[in-house]
């Protein structure tokens, strides 16, 4: 599906809409990346068609299309950030402020996240995940001390 910079969500296919919803929840930094969304949407649609043409069942074709659509997106740095704030800073950051706080601080943590293989779909199961959690806790503490909520 060809899209331009002004593509409205209503113009997206099932895969595009699904991905956009997923990105809003778990990767808000990618929501405005129209080329990324369009590329994944197209790849998932093509995968589904290819699998069906090869004789796969609808369910199997859909499963493979979803694998392509969400590849590298299963671990969410944003969701981990939200988890750390909820678990470690529930008194400092009130529940109704957490989403806004996390969206505000998230861009400041890109260098921290860049030091970890967060695009690996198995990252959440690795020992590095715990280290990142600890580093995030420290970074958030320093941010709160310097800027508050």
pLDDT in tens, 85-121: 999 999 998 999 999 999 899 988 989 988 888 777 7
Report the candidate in 97, 87, 92, 104 with the shortest Cα–Cα distance to residue 29.
Answer: 104
Q: Which of 38, 70, 102 is the last residue of a domain?
A: 70
Say if residue 81 is in the same domain as residue 40: no
Of 113, 96, 115, 108, the C-alpha closest to 144 is 108
Say which residue the tokens 């990142």 belong to: 132
Q: How far apart are CA 147 and CA 97, in angstroms?
A: 15
What pTM, to 2 d.p., does this model score?
A: 0.71
CATH number at residue 116: 1.10.8.340
The pLDDT confidence band at residue 135, using thresholds 50, 70 and 90, is: very high
């Amino acid at each position: 599906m060809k899209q331009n910079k002004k593509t409205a969500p209503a113009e997206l296919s099932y895969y595009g809409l699904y991905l956009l919803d997923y990105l809003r929840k778990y990767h808000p930094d990618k929501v405005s990346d129209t080329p990324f969304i369009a590329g994944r949407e197209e790849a998932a649609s093509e995968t589904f068609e290819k699998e069906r043409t090869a004789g796969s069942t609808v369910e199997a074709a859909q499963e493979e299309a979803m694998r392509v659509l969400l590849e590298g997106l299963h671990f969410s740095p944003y969701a981990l950030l939200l988890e750390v704030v909820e678990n470690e800073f529930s008194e400092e950051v009130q529940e109704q402020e957490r989403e806004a706080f996390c969206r505000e601080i998230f861009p400041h943590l890109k260098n921290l996240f860049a030091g970890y293989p967060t695009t690996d779909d198995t990252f959440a199961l690795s020992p590095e995940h715990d280290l990142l959690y600890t580093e995030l806790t420290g970074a958030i503490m320093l941010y709160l001390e310097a800027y508050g909520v």
